[in-house]
Homo-oligomer: A and B are copies of this chain.
């Protein structure tokens, strides 16, 4: 048995599927296109992953599990709130620049089938934000930051970091900037966003 070749083909397929699914979504992707991208026969996709749905789920979980530890690591660290916000912003933006299709893919497919979130929550790597929430509450009680519900601050951090990547075609249109200039704006945001947030909650 060629165990090694087995793994290579399987991961070649997964990688090709990732490229196609993340660019075109579940509905827009074609099994034939994924096979072409992987340089193999369409029947092999089914041999390894049975159906489009299962292949899609493999890609989706893979993508999500790439993103989740990024969140977890920072949210559950022992650092101060300010450091966390700075670290998160810096790491997240440089992470997404490497995986530009990822946030839109995840958000979009979760909108298509919101019940899928339930499956994800039960995975052991699903981000837990309890510690982060406690930390915010504590900072508010000590008067270190202005009163704000932890939920809102969390949403704001996510929004400021993720949205510009999801909405890039729209924002490029509004701002009348080209790809090059937009990319530069995104790089500026690695520090810009954390300053903005820290200012907003500074008491």
> What residues make up the interface of A, taking CB atoms closer than 8 Å to B?
24-28, 104, 106-108, 110-112, 114, 117, 120-121, 126-127, 129, 146, 148-149, 151-152, 154-156, 158-160, 162-164, 166-175, 177, 185, 188-189, 192-193, 196-197, 199-202
Contacts and interface: CB of A to CB of B under 8 A. Distances in A.
23 contacts: A25-B25, A27-B28, A28-B112, A104-B107, A106-B170, A107-B166, A107-B169, A108-B111, A111-B166, A111-B169, A127-B174, A129-B174, A151-B185, A152-B188, A152-B196, A155-B163, A155-B164, A155-B175, A155-B185, A156-B193, A159-B159, A159-B162, A159-B163
Q: How many copies does the complex hold?
A: 2
Contact of A199 (B146, B169, B171): B146
